[in-house]
Amino acid sequence: MSLESFNFSPVLNTSDADIIADFFVPALGASIHYDRGVGFFSAGWLRVAAEGMAAFAYNTGRARWVTSPILSEEDWQTLRCSGLGCPNH
């Protein structure tokens, strides 16, 4: 399924829409590239978007993220050790 096959709303109001279920899960599941710039990043977002990120990874997707250099120690260690087999991660 391609992104063109979805009829995404041009505006998602997070007070009455579930942006993860209504946008990120289907969009990531149909994507192989994901570029994102955010001023604040938390690995908690990855937990709530896990279904979409898993489908993205299954599709051998490639992501590029630009984020604030201010990360929690836990998030820094998670990102640093991703795929490297660091102890306790």
Instruction: Give the global pTM.
Output: 0.74
Domain map of the chain by residue range? 3-81
Which of 44-52's residues contact partners 24+ apart within 8 Å by CB, and which partners? 48/20, 49/20, 49/24, 49/25, 51/25, 52/20, 52/24, 52/25, 52/26, 52/27, 52/28
pLDDT, residue 83, reads 58
Q: How is residue 14 annotated by DSSP? A: T
All residue ranges of the chain with pLDDT < 50 are 89
pLDDT, residue 87, reads 62
Reported as a single tens digit per residue, the pLDDT across 27-40 is 999 999 999 998 88
